[in-house]
Amino acid sequence: MTRTLEFSVQTVSKPQLIAAASREVQTGDIPAAFGPALAHVKSFLARHEDIRALAPKAHEVFLYRHADSGTCSDPMTVYFGVEVARTFDPDPDGEVQCVEVPVGQVVTVVHKGAYRYISNTHAKVRAWIEENGWKSAGWSWEIYGDERGEEEEWETGICYLIKRAGL
């Protein structure tokens, strides 16, 4: 079933904070990389409940720093994280750090359905950006929702930091 995507452009002025572990990965390696990275983050947060402190459930956020070339075939830095309530000092072992999700003009859509199709939604967002006089500002992120129920109903927010083409 084809779903119509609703694109929303907004100015985000307050950074969202995440506790995150970063990895340098190819797009195709993200499924293998996120589990171990999030395990470090969740272990850290279990030892620091005061940092997490978001109710009822902090969302997982994958923050992507795109390569300068702008192609999906190049490795990129990915911050695999969980929303947190406040800043904190990095984990002494260096694995988990506090990261601010970028602020500015952001285009957002909701991917509804299985994760195996999320790359299709990303492709549609990138096409929309170009077709509407914008260009990527080098960052995108996914905000994962509740995974209960049928996977066709799962919702994932997809956000791209954008700027006007030619700037």
CATH number of the structural domain spanning residue 1: 3.20.80.10
Verify that 61 and 6 share a domain, yes or no. Answer: no
Residues 3 and 23 in one domain: no
Beta bridge partners of 87: none
68, 38: one domain: yes
- Other beta carbons within 10 Å of 117: 14
Are residues 157 and 110 located together in one domain of the fold? Answer: yes
CA atoms within 13 A on the CB side of 31: 6
Q: Which residues contact 143 (CB under 8 A, 6 or more apart)?
A: 59, 60, 61, 156, 157, 159
What's the rounded Cα separation, in Å, for the pair 144 and 142?
6
As a whole number, the mean pLDDT across the chain is 88
Residue 70 has pLDDT above 60, yes or no: no
- For 150-160, what is each residue's pLDDT tens digit? 888 889 999 99
pLDDT of 71 over the 60 cut: no
Residue 111 and residue 88 share a domain? no
94 shares a domain with 116:
no
> What pLDDT sits at residue 68?
66
Mean pLDDT of 47-69: 79
- Which of 100, 118, 139 is at the close of a domain? 100
The total of structural domains in the chain comes to: 2
Instruction: Look at residues 15, 20, 17 and name the one whose alpha carbon lies nearest to residue 91.
Output: 20
Same domain, 30 and 88: yes
For 82-103, write each residue's pLDDT tens digit: 999 889 998 887 799 999 999 9
Confidence of residue 135 (pLDDT cuts 50, 70, 90): very high
Q: Do residues 54 and 85 make contact, with C-beta atoms less than 8 angstroms apart?
A: yes
User: What pLDDT does residue 72 have?
Assistant: 61
Q: Give the amino acid at 40.
A: H
pLDDT digits (tens, 9 = 90+) for 21-56: 999 999 889 999 999 999 999 999 888 878 876 645
**Percentages helix, strand, coil for the chain, rounded to the nearest 5?**
25, 35, 35
d(CA 37, CA 12): 27
- Determine if the pTM surpasses 0.85: yes
Q: Are residues 27 and 94 in the same domain?
A: yes
Domain range enclosing 72? 17-100
Whether residue 1 has pLDDT greater than 60:
no
| C-alpha separations of 147 from 19, 59, 80, 125, 127 in Å | 20, 11, 17, 23, 27
Is 55 or 124 the better-scoring residue by pLDDT?
124
